[in-house]
A and B are shown apart, each in its own frame.
Chain A
Amino acid sequence: MANFNLKINGKNHQLDVDPATPVLWVLRDHLHLVGTKYGCGIAQCGACTIHLDGVAMRSCIIPVSAVRDQAITTIEGLSEQGDHPVQQAWLEHDVPQCGYCQAGQIMSAAALLSDNTKPSDEDIDMAMHGNICRCGTYTRIKAAIKTAAKVG
């Protein structure tokens, strides 16, 4: 066990955990921030996507000890009122089916749009390749990303 000071969604959190614990489980089990989802645990599905200093990362394979002073943003902290352009576009297109993958999809999409304000279809395919949607909402996700790009 070791002490860590994490900056999550603009707040500091102190905790004492096994340094190997992935950020995903720190968020879910220790801080009850359950928007970040477990889907595979091996960086293959994207359900656990968070931002580390603004970059989309799979939190299931990042040990808490590797975070250091990088700022963590989770779906809960993407916007204060749930009105990030990507979240709004998701509502406009009524994207979710079961909804389980959607936090990860939104975090990947938000990171894409912060780097590339006018992504092409190929850019979207590439950036979103790591996010599986078992329910098959990909066409709506793509449409929502394009809507968010127009707004953002």
Chain B
Amino acid sequence: MTTLKTSIGRRSFLKSAALTGGGMMLGFSWLSSCQSKTEEEVMAMPEAWFEINAYLKIGDNGVVTIYTPNPEFGQNVRTSMPMLVAEELDVNWDKVLVEQAPYHPENFGFQFTGGSRGIMSRWEPLRMAGASAKHLLRQAAAQAWQVPLEEVTTTTGMLHHQASDRSAGYGEMASAAAKLPIPEEVTLKEVKDFRIISTSRKNVDAKSIVQGQSLFGMDYHKKGMLIAMIVHPPAFGLTLESVDDAAAKAMPGIKEIVTIKSFPDGYEKGGFDTNAFPELVAIVGNSTWEVMQAKKELKASWKPITATTETINGFRGKETKHTPAGLESTDSHKAQIAEVASKPGKIVRQDGDPQAAFENAAKVIERSYSAPYLAHNSMEPINAFAHVEGDKATIAAPIQIPGFIIPTIAAGLGIPAENIEMEMPRMGGGFGRKAYAHYVVEAALISQKVHAPVKLIYTREDDMTNGIYRPTYQATYRAALDENNNLVALHVKAGGIPESPLFANRFPAGAVANYLAEEWSIDSNITIGAYRAPRSNFMAGAEQSFLDEVAEAAGKDPIQFRLDLLKQAKDNPVGEENDYDAERYAGVLELVREKAAWGQNQGNVHRGVSAYFCHNTYAAHVLDLTIEKGKPVVQKVCCAIDCGIVVNPDAAKNMAEGAITDGIGNAFYGELTFKDGVPEKSNFDKYRMIRMGEAPKEIDVHFVQNEIAPTGMGEPPFPPIFGAVANAIFKATGERQYDQPFLGDKQVLG
């Protein structure tokens, strides 16, 4: 049993009340109850609610509302987080309603979506919220019945005192419980006693989604609301010079055309204030279509930016950031990469004597890998609602990390940060993009200028050409084998524009006696940002393709080759700091080997394996590929994951399936190129996304069973799939894949 100090209080004033006019956030409907129900079966509404703590209230009839703290973008935390509360509260899941908490860190802690850290960071606090509420209910019952607290037990929403044969529902004790002080310590359940955690529960929003209810930021509506759209420079390296808005202003339905500046002069930016185009023109009008038409008529002239050096208050404290001037192109990037990658990089780790080991090697293998820029392309384009009135602002926006943008909004508007109220509607995908919330600042500035509530909408083209991409990367690997085909040295040199993707302390570091890791980077004015499993999303594919090739050169089975290295890392680790648990890493490879029946003849099916550890979770894939008329067809992906305790197994499977499909799509087609600063793709006619017929025909997900505290699922299954695709293609065609995308616009390989 774990006894923990509680860190939750009662709710202070819940700011969101002011936003109910929008009707979408607090206006939960009975349809969002956790079970599919017909109209007749819906839960009865309680007559009174009692707030037990910040995370939950209980109705007089025993219905429980749980406030889910983090924003939802498809990772299903609106189901899995309340499950943690409900487990410890010991309540019937059928009696639970879920509401999105508004942004209120005092009550709800750090509210964010990213880094696959949601469940991990909430694992104890949310269970504590449930356990402390249960404690209060038991206390209330003990007082009412005049019996010792230890003798009051619970079963799913009921309180009991066995000796006197008394029972009461939670609803009956909720009023008294709400008046008791929050306990200082609570005891959490043991894993073996879980009844909700580790059982599959359906997405609490599925019913609203399949009926097309208003859920997303894009759907937000408020009376008197105007629609705004922005016009940004057509190329990176340009900024606004002047605007001629006469023609646009004369278009029907147009109210105002304004220019905005996202940062006040001298504003010290935070790490998530990335913004290539801080000066914009905004067109504001009555309806989306009218504003879209006026946008075409707006005439703006653009001028080159000047190079800047600024200090940014980033994750690791103050950082200096250089932004060069000029219009960059994919071709010029390639030339720059070739030049920089050929020179020595910055050494970030060295074990043993790599130079001597390479000189004395029986065999040296050297291979280089590359990947292009990627656009996030969430299906819901960027948007934000803002209403600024005097020194107050009301915001509702799809946003991953509200806390990071509030200071910028406050500075831009010139109002105190505590006067900003923020709701977090469901996001139609984010993938990292909605962590960079410049669009919320823009919406707020526009609302302030036009003195009206506005919803800012990016067109798909605006969304795809506004920046904050997955960077372009390059890596060169070298391996030295001795005469017995043992891997005796490994050298990795990796870099990118504008950042290096390298993780020097990840596998195979620690498993090879002589190891050298170097990195480099090239400045750019094309903005980048986190994209599902940042950096890992390139390094995994490069590393796992390379290890496959080394295993082949050594004449070893690719899974056994990796397992041998992991055994070495476990028994005899090289170096001090190795960022992985070799045993758990080996565990997913062993599980996938067994579940995929690796090694058995698969007829015309070609198999590739790949494994990776990132974001605290281990994932391994075996991908089965056939070639039909030159076209690669993914028949099946078998996947093994170790993310500790799996909170909601079927939802976790859905995440893995999505990550696998997303990865296959990007490995085959994902690419954004530039010409003279202009992104060469701006919509889905050119930007190739994976579609139904290209998705794997079958995905088989398995979890390692253990009792380790849960870690994330959104990112970890994504990076290794790139390697599995590359390795399967090699088996099918005899050709190694070094440069993503493997197909691009082509339909067939080769």
Contact = CB atoms under 8 A, between A and B. Distances in A.
B296 interface: no
A22 B692 contact: no
Contacts of A151: none
Given A21-B289, A94-B651, A94-B654, A34 B219 contact: yes
Contacts of A18: 252, 289-290
A137 B697 CA distance: 12
Interface string B457-471: 101100000000000
Contacts of A139: 657, 661, 695-699
Nearest to A144: B210
B671 interface: no
A74 interface: yes
Interface string A38-79: 111110110100000000000000000000000000111000
Contact of A91 (B36, B76, B288, B684): B36
B590 interface: no
Contact of B683 (A30, A35, A44): A44
B323 to A, nearest CB: 29
A97 B206 CA distance: 9
Interface in B403-437: 426-431
Contacts of A45: 379, 460, 684, 689
Contacts of A150: none
A7 interface: no
A136 B290 contact: no
Q: How many residues of A sit at the interface, in one of the four size bands?
A: 35 or more
Contacts of A128: 691-692
Interface string B184-224: 00000000000000000011011101111111101101000
Interface in B216-237: 216, 218-219, 221, 227
B657 A136 contact: yes
B662 A135 contact: yes
Contacts of A76: 211-212
B210 A90 contact: yes
A142 interface: yes
B430 to A, nearest CB: 8
A99 B428 contact: yes
A81 B38 contact: yes
A136 B287 CA distance: 32
Nearest to B429: A98
Nearest to A106: B210
Contact of A44 (B207, B650, B684): B684
A90 to B, nearest CB: 5
A132 B209 contact: no
Interface residues of B, number: 69
**Chain A interface mostly:** loop
Interface string A1-37: 1000000000000000110111001001110111111
Contact of B650 (A35, A40, A94, A103): A94
Contact of B662 (A33, A41, A136): A136
Contacts of B696: 139
Given A94-B651, A136-B660, A40 B210 contact: no
Contact of A98 (B213, B428, B651): B428
Contacts of A39: 379-381, 460, 684
Contact of B215 (A17, A22, A74, A99): A99
B429 to A, nearest CB: 4
Contacts of A82: 31, 207, 210-211
Nearest to A98: B74
B398 to A, nearest CB: 10
Contacts of B289: 18, 20-22, 25, 29
B659 interface: yes
Contacts of A87: 210-211
A29 B429 contact: no
A124 to B, nearest CB: 7
B203 A37 contact: no
B30 to A, nearest CB: 12
Contacts of B31: 82
Contacts of B39: 81
B73 interface: yes
A34 B685 contact: no
B750 interface: no
A42 B684 contact: yes
B690 interface: yes
Contact of A102 (B73, B209, B685, B698): B209
Given A37-B380, A42-B684, A99 B38 contact: no
Given A35-B214, A44-B683, A139-B657, 16 more contacts: A25-B287, A37-B379, A42-B685, A45-B379, A91-B207, A94-B650, A94-B651, A98-B74, A99-B74, A99-B428, A100-B380, A132-B689, A134-B378, A135-B74, A136-B657, A136-B690
21 contacts: A18-B290, A25-B289, A29-B227, A34-B216, A35-B212, A35-B213, A37-B428, A40-B683, A42-B683, A44-B685, A90-B210, A96-B209, A97-B74, A125-B692, A129-B693, A131-B691, A134-B378, A134-B689, A135-B74, A136-B657, A136-B690
